[in-house]
C-alpha cells in the first residue's frame, strides 16, 4: 500500500512539474505583465523524505520501520520586483510515530529557505513562476519507553525513559508555483486581494550534519535528510501592480 502510494505520488509530482515547464515556454507570448507586488501566505502539504538509512538501523534493532511520508505546516512570502522574485518560507515537518512493543519512536523537524525566482507568466489574477531555494533544517528522532504508567516521583528518581537525538543538513530546493488572486480591490496602479496557490518541488539535502544527544555528538548515526518531492497548498493575501 505504502509503496503504491509513493509511486503514485512521484508520478503525479512529475506530471505537475512537466505541466509547469510547458506553461513557462508558452507564457513568453504574454505581454500584459503585472510585474511588481508582494504577498504572504500560509502553506500546508505533504512530501516524501529519504529516511531509508534510519529504517535500516531500526530494523536491525527490532524496531518497526517508519513511513517516509511527512506532513508540513508553515508559511512564507515574497516580493516581485520587475519579474524577479525574492522571498522566504519556513516549515514544521511532522513525520511518523510508531509503537514497537513497549517502545514508541517518532520523527519530526523543520527547515527554512530563502527563495529566488522569476515571474514567467502573469495576468491580473494568475501568476506562474519557478523558484530556487537555499537553506537548512533539522530532524529530531525520539525513542520513548511506554511500559507502565510511572508516577512523577518515579520519573524524578529514574529519568531515563526517553532519548531524543537530532541531526541537521543544508538544503537546495527547486520548485514551481502557481498563484491565483481573488481580486478584492482594483485601482489604476494594480489589484489586491486573497491569494490561493499551489507549489510543487523537490528538496535536495546537501552536506548532512552529525547526530547529537543533549549537545553531545553521537557516532555511527544513519544519514538522513529532506531529500524528496513535495506538494503544498497556499492561502494568503497580497497585491500586484502593472509594470510601467
CATH assignment of the domain containing 173: 2.40.160
Q: How many domains does the chain fold into?
A: 1
Minimum mean pLDDT among 6-10, 144-148, 195-199: which range?
A: 6-10
Average pLDDT for the chain: 84
Residue 178's contacts (CB-CB under 8 Å, 6 or more residues apart) are 20, 126, 127, 128, 197, 198, 199
Confidence of residue 153 (pLDDT cuts 50, 70, 90): confident
Q: What is the DSSP string of 83-132?
A: TEEEEEEEEEEEEEEEEETTEEEEEEEEEEEEEEEE--EE-SSEEEEEEE
pLDDT of residue 108: 94
Range of the domain at 14: 2-23+38-241
Global pTM reads 0.81
User: Residue holding cell 509530482?
Assistant: 13
Residues 234 and 53 sit within 8 Å (Cβ to Cβ)? no
Domain contains 224: yes
pLDDT of residue 33: 58
Amino acid at each position: 500500500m505504502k509503496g503504491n502510494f509513493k509511486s503514485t505520488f512521484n508520478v503525479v509530482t512529475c506530471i505537475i512539474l512537466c505541466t509547469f515547464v510547458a506553461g513557462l515556454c508558452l507564457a513568453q507570448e504574454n505581454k500584459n505583465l503585472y510585474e511588481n507586488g508582494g504577498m504572504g501566505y500560509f502553506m500546508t502539504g505533504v512530501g516524501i523524505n529519504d529516511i531509508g538509512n534510519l529504517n535500516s538501523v531500526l530494523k536491525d534493532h527490532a524496531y518497526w520501520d517508519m513511513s517516509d511520508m511527512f506532513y508540513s505546516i508553515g508559511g512564507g512570502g515574497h516580493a516581485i520586483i520587475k519579474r524577479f522574485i525574492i522571498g522566504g518560507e519556513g516549515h514544521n515537518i511532522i513525520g511518523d510515530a510508531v509503537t514497537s512493543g513497549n517502545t514508541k519512536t517518532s520523527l519530526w523537524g523543520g527547515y527554512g529557505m530563502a527563495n529566488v525566482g522569476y515571474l514567467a507568466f502573469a495576468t491580473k489574477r494568475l501568476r506562474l513562476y519557478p523558484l530556487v531555494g537555499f537553506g537548512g533544517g533539522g530532524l529530531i528522532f525520539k525513542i520513548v519507553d511506554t511500559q507502565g504508567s510511572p508516577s512523577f516521583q518515579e520519573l524524578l528518581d529514574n529519568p531515563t525513559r526517553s532519548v531524543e537525538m537530532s541531526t541537521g543538513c543544508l538544503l537546495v530546493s527547486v520548485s514551481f508555483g502557481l498563484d491565483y488572486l481573488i481580486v478584492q480591490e482594483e485601482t489604476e496602479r494594480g489589484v489586491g486581494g486573497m491569494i490561493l496557490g499551489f507549489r510543487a518541488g523537490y528538496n535536495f539535502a546537501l552536506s548532512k550534519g552529525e547526530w547529537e544527544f543533549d549537545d553531545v555528538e553521537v557516532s555511527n548515526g544513519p544519514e538522513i535528510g529532506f531529500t524528496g518531492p513535495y506538494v503544498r497548498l497556499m492561502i494568503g493575501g497580497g497585491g500586484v501592480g502593472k509594470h510601467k
